[in-house]
Amino acid sequence: MKKYVIERGVPGIGAMDQKGLSEVAHQSNGALEKLKPRIQWQESFVTGDKTYCIYLAEDEAVIREHARLSGFPANIITEVKAVIDPATAA
């Protein structure tokens, strides 16, 4: 599977408490269950009005299907070509 970064516009998500974020995750997990094993959610970073999600997926089409089923937009989908960190310089 390929790795993707997905930018989702979700107004107010950064102001949600743990219960609200748990509900969002539950909604996403329900859509993921329907699309197994073609997509996996690794983690998401929450900002004020956006999330940046890391997914493993067969292709962009399954990410768009997850967005449709979950109700969370996939505004920008970018395939990750490589991962680097400070150790890459060595």
Domain that holds residue 18: 2-85
d(CA 31, CA 69): 6
Give residue 9's pLDDT.
97
Give residue 22's pLDDT.
97
Residue 45 domain-assigned (yes or no): yes
Per-residue pLDDT tens digits of the chain, which is 90 residues long? 999 999 999 999 999 999 999 999 999 999 999 999 999 999 999 999 999 999 999 999 999 999 999 999 999 999 999 999 999 999
Residue 30 domain-assigned (yes or no): yes
Residue 90 domain-assigned (yes or no): no
Beta strands in the chain (DSSP E): 2-9, 39-46, 50-57, 76-79
Residue 73 domain-assigned (yes or no): yes
CATH number at residue 45: 3.30.70.3090
Residue 52 domain-assigned (yes or no): yes
Q: Is the pTM of this model over 0.75?
A: yes
Overall domain count for the chain: 1
